Structure formats: C-alpha cells, structure tokens
Structure 1
Amino acid sequence: MVPTDNFAFLLPVIMLTFGCTFLIVGHWGSRQARIWGTGYLSAAAAFSVPLVLSWLPVQAQTLTADALFIATFYFFGGALLARFRRPSLIAPRIALAIAAFASNLYSVIVAHSLPAELLVNDLACVVLLGLPVVICFGQSQHARDRLLLAVASAVVLDTIVRDTILIVLLPSPTGIEGFTSSSYDFYMQVGASILGLLMALTALAAVALDTIAIYRDAADRDHLSGLLNRRGFDRAAAELRHRGKTGAIIICDIDHFKRVNDKFGHAMGDRVILALAGLLRERLPADALAARFGGEEFVIFLPAASLAQAGDLANAIRLAFAGVERGEIGPNHKITASFGVAAAESGDAAIADQIGRADSALYAAKEAGRNRVMVAGEPPQEATMPRIVGGR
C-alpha cells in the first residue's frame, strides 16, 4: 500500500508535525500524548516511504509501508485505551499486528495479490483501532471524549467503506503501478488526510484540555492537606450555585493551634492539619467541597444539606478529631476543633454571605469555650440544642 505523489509531501509533513507536537505535550507528563505522538510519527514514516525508500523494489516499499501503517493503528488504539484507563491488551494487539504482517508477506511475495494485501492490512487497522473504540465506548465523561471516539469511529468506518468499494465496485488492480495511478488510491489518500487531520486535532485538543485541567487542579489545591484552597473552593462553589445548588456551610478551626506549633514544632502542626483533612475526606459525602482556607481554618460546603444535618455531621467530625490518639504529644494534651454552621438564605447575594454567618457561629463556639459546634441563629445555638435559624 504505497501512496502516490498526490500527497507525497503533504501527508508526511502533517503527520510529522502532529507527532512532534504530541511528544512535546507528552514531555509534560501525559502518557497518552506520547503514544499518540509515536503513532503519528509512524504514520509520517509510512507516508514517506515512496520518498525516502524509492531505491527499494516496489514490493519492499509496500511491505515497509504496511508494517508502519499497522504500527500506526496499534499506537492509535493504545492511546485510546490509555486515555480511558482501560486494559492495554498489549499481547493480543501485538499478536494481531504480527499475524497481519505475516499475511501481507504471503499476499505480496507468494500470492502476488494486491487486493488481498490491501484488505488484510486495512482489516488489521480496523481491528487495532475499532476494538479500543468499542472497549472505550460508554466510558466518556466529557464532550471531548465523545468527539474523539466519534472521529476514531469515522476512521474505522471510512476504511470499511473503502474496502467494500474496492471489492464490489472496482475491478481488481493488476499491480501496484496500476493501483497507485487509480482514482481509488487518490480518494483513499484524500480521506486519510482529512480524517487523520481531524483525529489529530481532536486528540490534541483533548490532551491539551486534560493538561490544563491537571494544572488548574494543582493551582486550586492546598499543597499540604490536598484539599481545595480558597480559590479552588470559590470557583467550585460558584459553579454549584450557578447550577442552582445550595446547602449548608461548615467552618472549622483547630483550637489553640498556635500553641501546638510553638510547643511541639511546625512538623507536629502539619500532622495535626493532615489528621483533620483526612477525617474530612473520610466522613464527608462525595459531593461535598472541603477546603483549607489557610492556617488551621477549614471550610466545607454540603450541597442540599439542611442546617440540622450539617450540625450533626460537624459534631461527628468534632468528636472523631478530639478522640485521635497523639502519642507524640502525650496523653494529657488533647487537640480539639471548633465548628460554625450556617444554612443558605434567600437574601444571600453570594456564598460569602453564608460563610460570614458560619464564621460568626464559629466565633461564638470559641467564645463559649471551644471544642463545640454552633449553628447560625439569633444568637447562635449549640448543635445539640434546638436549632434556631435567624433571618435577616
């Protein structure tokens, strides 16, 4: 399957450009980008065979291009599997690639059948890409994933349609020279150019958006606790409110945290913060937002939770945190935390209004002796007492 001169320069340049671009992106840590890049470099090499290896016999050029195209689709399929975190199936896919190339050797060298060589090679490419598409179908979580699978499916479908036309509608080519001068070969390369470009653009956009999301997530997270930082919390909470989701806010502050740092050192203070962050991850529902606003202060947003439910959860976390054994500090030194809880109100212009009420309740908990939960009201009430929510 050797391309004609119609796209002798265009196709290798396109594939080489995308291959290098993917490898550059992959240098930032994206494994799937590296696999895409290897696939497109293999495609560039396949389309370059008539230019670079023109001194070889035609049969050698054909088999070299076939091997490179099979490798291209092997890597394309592997990139999809890596993207959707599916099993890589390396052994069966390599076995299929080897079997396909062995069949090509027989078709070219023994049978001298160009149609057989084309069909075997295309069938291998269809399976190497089509099988991962089927495996990954239904795993897409974003529009970019669905678009990528749609374009990959179009590549598979295009190959199947072309082979059907070759078998049913077109007379069998008498040799490679006749094939490379045929209209079929011209339109095959046009299709390969368009779909190859579309798949490259779609895959590159998906990888780039993934990379941006990774760096954005890192920028939105507190490096010590692994929870959201203030900026990440504000962004996530604003998105939830934009979708009409409101709930309860809990503010938590570790009691006498400065004394812990002064007496036992900042390393111990970090361990205390990590202990509370671990409790929050363990006990909060999956849809909750938890953030470290700085120092020893944590803020939690519970979508759709009532004031009573948030107060009960805060009290459970308070008891669990106070009950943590800290042998390094000593049996007589207990570290506790205070909590303030507030519900959403119709007059809230932003979540900051709700956070302000929770902060007032937290201040009341500190004033009342610490190691307790107070819920917003007029005045704030302890969580174990009847809840009184005051409107303003």
Structure 2
Amino acid sequence: MNHFLHLPTIMVIHGCSTLISALLVGNLWRQRWSSVLLGILTFAAAIGFLGTVIHAMRPIVPFWMSAGFAPGAGALALGLFWQAIAVFEGKRPNYVRAAAGTVIWVVLYLTPIFHASMTFRTAAAALILGTYSVLGGREIWLGMQREPLPSRKLAAWVHCTRGGVWYSMLVGSLLLEPPYKAPGQYADWFVLASLLQTLLVMLSIITLLILALERDEGTSRRVAERDPLTNLRNRRSFVEHAETLLKLESNSSELLLFDIDHFKQINDTHGHAAGDKVLMEFAAMLEGRMQADWLLARIGGEEFACLIPNVGTSDAADIAEAMRRAVECLHTTIDGRFVPVAVSIGVAATDEVASSLDPLLAAADLALYQAKADGRNAVRIHRPGQSLRDLLTQDQATPVAANEAGPSGRSSRAKRRS
C-alpha cells in the first residue's frame, strides 16, 4: 500500500484542503460578521489545519505537541463543527460540549498508559473524533422532518461515514497493527483510512455549505411566492400550483372567490393601516379553516381565492357559507371602535366549466358579481350559461343593484369593489 499511497503526502493534502476551507469560509464570514455558523466553521477549520500540520511534523516536534496538542486540536475542531451544525439547525452553540473531547484528551495525556501505548492513543483519538462526527450526522438527520432539504441525506451520510472511518481506526489499532510501525513505515489500513478522512473532511464542509445554500434558495422562493402582508400565497404562486392541481385531479374541484365588502370605505374612513389590519385578520381567519389539500391565496387587493379539490358544489357552498358567517364574527377594532367586516363569495366548479384555471376564475368572478349585485355579504354559485351581460341586465332592472354597480363604463370587477 505504501508504494501507491504515501502518508506524508496525504497529510499535506489534508492540511491544504483544511486551510483552503478555512480561508473560503473565513472570507464568507468577513462578509457576514453576524453569522455565528460561519464564525464557528472558520475557527473549526483553522484549528483543524493547525492540528493537522503539527501532527504531520511528528518526527521533528516534541511528543507533547505531536501526541498531545495535535489530536486535542483535532477533537476541538470536530466539536466545533458539531456545534456549527447545531447552530444551522436553529440551536444555541454549546461550547462546553465542543471542548469536552479536548478535555478528555488532556486528562488521558496525564495517564501513564497514554505515553506507553500508541495503540491506546490511536483508539482513544478515534473514539472521540468518531463520536463527534456521528453526532454531527445525527443532528443533520434529525432536522429531516422539520426542513427536508434535498441534500440532507447526503450530508448526514458523509458525517456518519466519517465517524465510521474513525471507528475503523479504533478497530484497526486494537485488532491489526499500530498505525506507525517504524520511522517512515505506516500500517496499510491507517494510510487508507487517512486518505478517506482527507476526502470526507472536504465533503463534510461542502455539504454543510450546500445545505445553507438550499435553505437560502428555499427562503427566497417562499418570499417570492408569498404576499408580504398576509403571508398567504400570492397570485403567481396560486396560479402555478392551482393549474398543476387541476391537471392532477380527475374529480370535481371547487373555486371560492372572496371579496371583502366596502373595503374602500374602510380605507377611506379609518386609513390604510386599518385596512391592512382587516386584511391580516381576514386572512388569518381563512387560513385557520384550511385543510391540508386546499389552496388559499391573496390574488388582489381585497380579493382572495381558495381551490378545494374533490368536493361537490353543495359542500363547497356550505364551506363558503360557514366562512361568510365566520367573517361576520370578526371582532375588528380600530382606534377603540368596532369595524364590521363582511365578505361576498363566488363559487364555481370544474364540472360546470372547463377544468382549467382561467375559465374557473371567470365563472367564480361572475358568481361573485352576482353576490355583490344581490346586496353583498352573500354566497352565490355559478350557474351554467350565466354571463356578465345577463347580470348587467339584471342590475339595470333592479335599482338597488344598479346603484351598487356604479357607472356603466366600469368593468365588472371594478364595479363590485366599491
């Protein structure tokens, strides 16, 4: 094995890769001084580099440096790396736990067997370093359900594999032969394990940075898909997901289209801050009534949409009516005064119109217009064959509806928003 793999060369590569990691992560930390994660990773990589360099100088440095300081520094580096992962998972760093392995190593250094037996030193170091690696992998794996990032399994596998390699060193030292047989001679299993560790230490840092990148991308995507005021889906996100859902569903789906009544009057009377409060409370009420497979979004100023798969028209109407009554019960107060809130709801079904979003929205919009024309605070179901012209004719025949419709030159949606 020594003819093909040269341990000093592997140690140099290991040290260089750790140094490069420290410089790269340190540069990121310089740009984001507030990041505890990057700060801990920088110190972990720097300490790991220092320990690797001193251990590689084993033939020329004192025993206390090569066998005492260097492995202790390695234990501290891996302990800090474990705590960096904990920070990534939203926990507070525990530096006592990070330093526990180093403290144990110092205590072992004071025992006679430590100085007398290389096998003991190798086994103890492998046990400490392997445990830290496995703990880091476990931390990543436990976050799977809370935040299923695409690279979690890979990152957890890398850290646990790294721990397995350390444990293999423990087994090799106890059952095979000492890692250092003579000056310039190394056990084959130790050379191979050192090579694997060199590869895995780079992968462990890379995978953690990939996880951080995936989290940032996910956060950016969620921000782009969410309405900043209500935190519901915005129109673009709703259209994208609704079209996908409608293509997958073979049964009837229902669309509920909500429009808060007299919202402009609330803004004009109480101010836009009051209007924002009404929107937030209204959105929170709707969201609290959502089921897992329902799709809710704010698609306009005071307009909201909810797509409900696998439900009949009568059930959808009952759901809409329950929501309308719940809105009536909203106790919204502005400057100590109660502000009544009501909503008009239009309901349309895919089995009555084409099973695509645009016709479904148009049908629900017509039903919503009907609810407005009938005096607001009502639920109306789209009827096949119903058209805007029919509704306008009906409005002109009904004085109250005509008054609510406004000037004939305005669009249907503009008419019902006042």
Normalised TM-score (structure 1)? 0.81
The secondary structure found in structure 2 opposite 1:378 is coil
The yes-or-no answer on 1:309 pairing with 2:315 is: yes
Distance 1:36 1:344 in 2: 54
The secondary structure found in structure 2 opposite 1:290 is strand
RMSD: 3.5
Distance 2:225 2:88 in 1: 23
Tell me how far 1:56 sits from its aligned partner.
Answer: 5.0
Distance 1:309 1:189 in 2: 66
Q: Which residue among 156, 172, 178 is the counterpart of 2:163? A: 156
User: Which string of whole-angstrom CA distances, capped at 9 and with x for unpartnered residues, describes residues 81-109 of structure 1?
Assistant: 44555x66937734742443234423689
The answer (yes or no) to whether the contact 1:230–1:291 under 8 Å persists in 2 is: yes
Distance 1:35 1:309 in 2: 55
The yes-or-no answer on 1:125 pairing with 2:149 is: no
Please, which runs of 5 or more residues in structure 1 have no aligned partner?
381-392
Counterpart amino acid of residue 163 in structure 1 = L
Tell me how far 1:127 sits from its aligned partner.
Answer: 1.7
The yes-or-no answer on 1:147 pairing with 2:150 is: no
Distance 1:312 1:18 in 2: 60
Distance 2:223 2:15 in 1: 37
The secondary structure found in structure 1 opposite 2:383 is coil
Q: Which residue among 206, 223, 230 is the counterpart of 1:201? A: 206
Question: Mapping of 1:66-105 within 5 angstroms?
Answer: 66-84=71-89, 90=94, 93-94=97-98, 96-105=100-109
Tell me how far 1:50 sits from its aligned partner.
Answer: 5.3
Residue of structure 2 equivalent to 1:111: 115
The yes-or-no answer on 1:286 pairing with 2:289 is: no
Distance 2:250 2:134 in 1: 40
Q: Which residue among 372, 376, 379 is the counterpart of 2:378? A: 372
Distance 1:98 1:275 in 2: 53
The yes-or-no answer on 1:43 pairing with 2:68 is: no
The secondary structure found in structure 1 opposite 2:226 is coil
Structure 1 residues 83 and 244 mapped into 2: Cα distance closer, same or farther (>3 Å)? Answer: farther
Distance 2:336 2:94 in 1: 54
User: Which string of whole-angstrom CA distances, capped at 9 and with x for unpartnered residues, describes residues 311-340 of structure 1?
Assistant: 222222221222223343787853211111
Residue of structure 1 equivalent to 2:369: 363
Tell me how far 1:274 sits from its aligned partner.
Answer: 0.9
Q: Which residue among 223, 227, 238 is the counterpart of 2:228? A: 223
Give aligned-pair identity as a percent: 23
The yes-or-no answer on 1:169 pairing with 2:172 is: no
Residue of structure 1 equivalent to 2:403: none
Tell me how far 1:270 sits from its aligned partner.
Answer: 0.8
Distance 2:157 2:247 in 1: 30
Q: Which residue among 17, 20, 42 is the counterpart of 2:20? A: 17
Structure 1 residues 330 and 164 mapped into 2: Cα distance closer, same or farther (>3 Å)? Answer: closer
Distance 1:308 1:69 in 2: 67
The secondary structure found in structure 1 opposite 2:177 is coil
Tell me how far 1:10 sits from its aligned partner.
Answer: 2.7
How many residues matched?
375
The secondary structure found in structure 1 opposite 2:298 is strand
Counterpart amino acid of residue 258 in structure 2 = C
Distance 1:261 1:318 in 2: 21
Residue of structure 2 equivalent to 1:320: 326
Counterpart amino acid of residue 175 in structure 2 = V
Distance 2:178 2:12 in 1: 29
Counterpart amino acid of residue 201 in structure 1 = I
Counterpart amino acid of residue 189 in structure 1 = S
The secondary structure found in structure 2 opposite 1:295 is coil
User: Which string of whole-angstrom CA distances, capped at 9 and with x for unpartnered residues, describes residues 213-257 of structure 1?
Assistant: 011111111111111111222333345446548732221111121
Please, which runs of 5 or more residues in structure 2 have no aligned partner?
1-5, 387-418
Structure 1 residues 44 and 235 mapped into 2: Cα distance closer, same or farther (>3 Å)? Answer: farther
Tell me how far 1:174 sits from its aligned partner.
Answer: 6.0
Counterpart amino acid of residue 296 in structure 1 = E
Counterpart amino acid of residue 322 in structure 1 = E
User: Which string of whole-angstrom CA distances, capped at 9 and with x for unpartnered residues, describes residues 113-171 of structure 1?
Assistant: 22212211110122222245446646523442122212222111111223212221224
